[in-house]
Amino acid sequence: MDPNKIDLIPEQESKPEPVFTKPEDYEEFCRKFVEEVGPELEKQREARQQSEAEAKQRWMR
């Protein structure tokens, strides 16, 4: 089903407007987003691996 033809709120007078009218604008937004969060997510992946490695040495009694 075409999302452009779905009414989120039936019988709503004021229809919502698309945020991006040009596909290249949306692609640019996505590119910038991935570029911005990428390094932080990579640090988090390393922190997780390190935490899991340390969990093998942490004994609870």
Partner 1 sequence: MIDGENSVLPIVTFDDKTDWLALHRIAQPHLERAGLGRLVAALSTSAKCIAVEREYIDKDYRDTFSNFHSKRFSTPRSRCLRLHFFDREVTRAGFREACLDANKLEAVNDHYLGYSVIRPTKPNCIGRTLLTPASRGPASAFASLCSERVSILGTELEITGFPFISQDSDVTVCAESSLWMVLRYFSNRYRLYPETYPFQVVNLTKDYSLGRIIPSSGLFIWQMAEALRRVGRPPLIYSRANFPDFDHLLYTYIESGIPVLVGLREHVVVAFGHSSNFGATPPGAGTILTSAYNDALVVNDDNHVPYQLLHRTGAGSGAGAQTSKYNFKDIIDFVAPLPEKVFLPAESFQTVVTAILERSSEFGHKALSPSLQNGRLVLRLFLTTGKSFKKHLGTRKMGNSLVEEAYRNLPLPHFVWVCEISNTDAYSRHEVYGEILWDATRNAHEPNGWIALHYPEVLVVDMGSALNSEQNLFQFKLQDSTPYPLYKNNLQPI
Q: Which residues of the shown chain bind partner 1 in the complex (CB under 8 A)?
A: 1, 3-4, 6, 8-10, 12, 14, 16-20, 26, 29-30, 33-34, 36-38, 40-41, 44, 46-48, 50-52, 54-61
Shortest distance, position 30 Cβ to partner 1, whole Å: 4
Question: b/e per residue, 30-49, with b = 16+ CB within 10 A?
Answer: eeeeeeeeeeeeeeeeeeee
Shortest distance, position 45 Cβ to partner 1, whole Å: 9
Say if CB 16 and CB 8 are below 8 A apart: yes
